[in-house]
Each structure stands twice: as C-alpha cells, then as structure tokens.
Amino acid sequence: MKKILVFIALLGIFSCQNNKSKEPIAENNIVEKQPYALEVHNFDGIQPYLTSSDDKTYVVNFWATWCAPCVKELPYFEQLGTNFKDKNVEVILISLDFPNQYESKLIPFIEKNQLQSKVVALNDPDSNSWIPKVSDTWTGALPATLIFNAKDRKFFEKSFDYSELESELQHFIN
Amino acid sequence: MKTMKLLFAFVAILTLSAFTSVTTEPGYSVGDMATDFKLENIDGRMISLSDYSNAKGFIVVFTCNTCPYAVAYEDRINDLNKKYAQKGYPVIAIMPNNTDIKPGDNLEAMKVRAQEKGFTFPYLIDKNQEIFPQYGATKTPHVYVLQKTNKGNQVKYIGAIDDNYQDASAVNTKYVENAVDALLQGKDIKEPHTKAIGCSIKI
C-alpha cells in the first residue's frame, strides 16, 4: 500500500514539474491551453546550466529540431532522465534552433513529443566566443553532450545510443 | 604469468584510452600542408587544386544543402568567391555528407541548389568521404583557407566564416575575409582558428 502511495505521489510530482504547458487533465476539457513558455538565453544565461551548484549529476545535451542525429538520440536522453530521476540526475536539453523557428518548430516539437526534460533555448550567434567555454575539445558540431557533477566533467561531440549514454552516466553516479 | 598480466594491463589501458579519446582532434592544424584531391563537380568535371595554376591559394569550404547553418551562409560563400577569386583565392566548396543518410545532399540536389543560388564556385562531392577526414572537417560549414607555397598548399586558417550565422548584416568580425586579406598583404592572420556551431558531417 505504501509503495502505491509513493508511486502516486511521484506521478504527481512528475506531472507538475514537467507538464506546465499541457492542459491539466479535466474531464470536460474546458481548461484553456496555456502557451508554452520557452526559456531563451544568451550564453551568459546558459552558463548556470553548465555549472555545478549542488550534488546533482547533470546531463546537458546540445541539439536542434533540424538536426537529424539529435532528434534520433533525444528519446535516449528522455529515457535516461526518467530512469535516473531517483539517482539525483537531471537532463537538460539546450536547443540551438533558430529564433525564427521557436514558434513554428521548437515549441510544437516539445509539445508533440511531450518532452519531460527541461528545454532551454540558446540564442547567441557569436558561437566562437562561447563554444570553448563549453569545452576546449568541441569543434562546434551537433549533437554534443556534457555530463558533469561537482567532482567530474566530461564532454562528448558525438551521437549516443541508450546503453552508451547510460554507461557514461554510471561513471558519474557510482 | 607476469607477461600475461602485463599484456592484460596493456590491453586494458588501450581499451580505456579508446573510450576516453574524445579529446583527440584528427586533421589539420594551422601550418600543415593540405592534401590535394580529385573530386566530381556538379558539372561532371573532376576538379583538383592543382588545376588552378594562377591561384595564390584557396578558400576550401565544407558545406551542404541540408544544414540550416550552411544554408544561412550560402550567399556569403558566394560573395567570398566573387570578391576573392579574382584576387587569387577562389572558393572550392566540398559536400562531405553520406548521401544515403542525407539524400537532399546528393549530386542532383547539389546541382539544383547551385543553380537556384547561382553558385559561382565549384561545388564538389566527397563521394568516398576520404577528403574531409584528412582535413579534419567535422561539420558544415567548416572553412580551410590554404596558401600556395613551394611545398604545397599550406593551411593558414581553420574555422568559421564570420561571427554571426543568423544575420549577415549584424556581423562584427569577418574571420575568413580577414584571413585572406592578411595573406594578400603578407601579414599575420590575427585569428587563425575559430569555432562555430554547425551540423555534424553525416558518415
């Protein structure tokens, strides 16, 4: 019984955290749909997401809706976020979609795929100024992923499948 | 037994390093000599750098049809060729993607795009995907400015075209133009290496 309660409580937490933009479940469907509030930053605004300030392990993926390998691996990041939520892991998806496609592509993509991870848009066209701040080794190709916590930090300029991603994460949480 | 253990350790280290070698950047650094090539152009001709006997160097751009960053730079790449071909630095564009993965980048699609945009430069296909790895290109667009020397074509600049992919009118620094201008004037290139976001080359 206890277990079921915990499960329901967790479900509640998950749905509150992640589905801000979605309609609350209402039987008569009279609740109006809230517009999705996309968080957009320049690199200075993104930096807090790349810096460890607590005991969590963060998996930060740089992607865009037009980047086919990014879209292909996105479900693995989602899955990772769900599977490791209880292990103090947070997945953050930093979109490099162009600003003129936030409304037409990015937000519809987030809503259609019901992305559970936090999505933040990075709009800072002078990428030469900030790519090295993410990692010295990043040549600038997408997709790219950063895994870090207070102790360690590793950068990947490559595509992942789920098992690879999980095994990289395991190094950080074990 | 001891040798066995050593061997084991060696293999373990090798395996480990294979997994952690995310930091290695193969390909050219500034100062290296760049390979020539013989690649098919959209007009069916095979093109090599050595065909350009009067050139002082080259603006080699790895680019494609399907990457939004590459598309954002099409007009600027065309402008680079218009400005610098006559000064001895023609643009040579190379499409590096695997066209099975990106059919929108196949030779037919390249021809169509070149015609639509009025490309004034050769648009070659790296069909066997052998040239871009030698250069170390990882994304589109990715630029290599080469200068012809007695020893071959020396890499003088690697990186981005300028500092604003979104808006050509908001550019502050034109990296490639600055690099070629410096070469033409016999000066040092202030920023010989820059980085920019691009689409990973599809292999």
CB A172 within 8 A of CB A84: no
A53-108 pLDDT per residue, tens:
899 999 999 999 999 999 999 999 999 999 999 999 999 999 999 999 999 999 99
Within A81-152, strands assigned E span 89-95, 118-122, 141-142, 144-148
Amino acid at A108: P
- pLDDT score of B159 more than 70: yes
Name the residue with tokens 């020396």: B154
Over chain B, what is the mean pLDDT?
A: 91
Three-state DSSP at B30 gives coil
Name the residue with tokens 């993104």: A46
Pairwise CB contact (< 8 Å): A141 & B166: no
Question: What is the model's pLDDT at position A15?
Answer: 46
Amino acid at B185: Q
- pLDDT score of A29 more than 90: no
Amino acid at A52: S
Question: What is the model's pLDDT at position B190?
Answer: 97
CB A21 within 8 A of CB A35: yes
CB A26 within 8 A of CB A11: no
Question: What is the model's pLDDT at position B18?
Answer: 46
ipTM exceeding 0.85? no
Q: For B18, phi and psi rounded to 5 degrees?
A: -65, -35
Question: What is the model's pLDDT at position B3?
Answer: 57
- pLDDT score of A28 more than 70: no
β-sheet with B139-140: strand ranges across: A141-142, B198-200, B139-140
A105-126 pLDDT per residue, tens:
999 999 999 999 999 999 999 9
Alpha carbon distance B188, B183 (integer Å): 7
Chain A contact set for B68 (CB, 8 A): 64, 66, 98
Question: What is the model's pLDDT at position A34?
Answer: 73
B164-199 pLDDT per residue, tens:
999 999 999 999 999 999 999 999 999 999 998 999
Mean pLDDT, residues A28-40 taken together: 75
Chain B contact set for A127 (CB, 8 A): 160, 163, 165, 195-197
Question: What is the model's pLDDT at position B12?
Answer: 52
Question: What is the model's pLDDT at position A32?
Answer: 64
Closest-CA distance of chain B to residue A118, Å: 21
Nearest residue on chain B to A101, alpha-carbon basis? B68
Higher-confidence residue of B23 and B49: namely: B49
Question: What is the model's pLDDT at position B17?
Answer: 47
Of A126, A132, A158, the CB nearest to B163: A126
- Please report how the helices B74-84 and B175-184 are oriented relative to each other, as an axis angle in degrees rounded to 10: 10
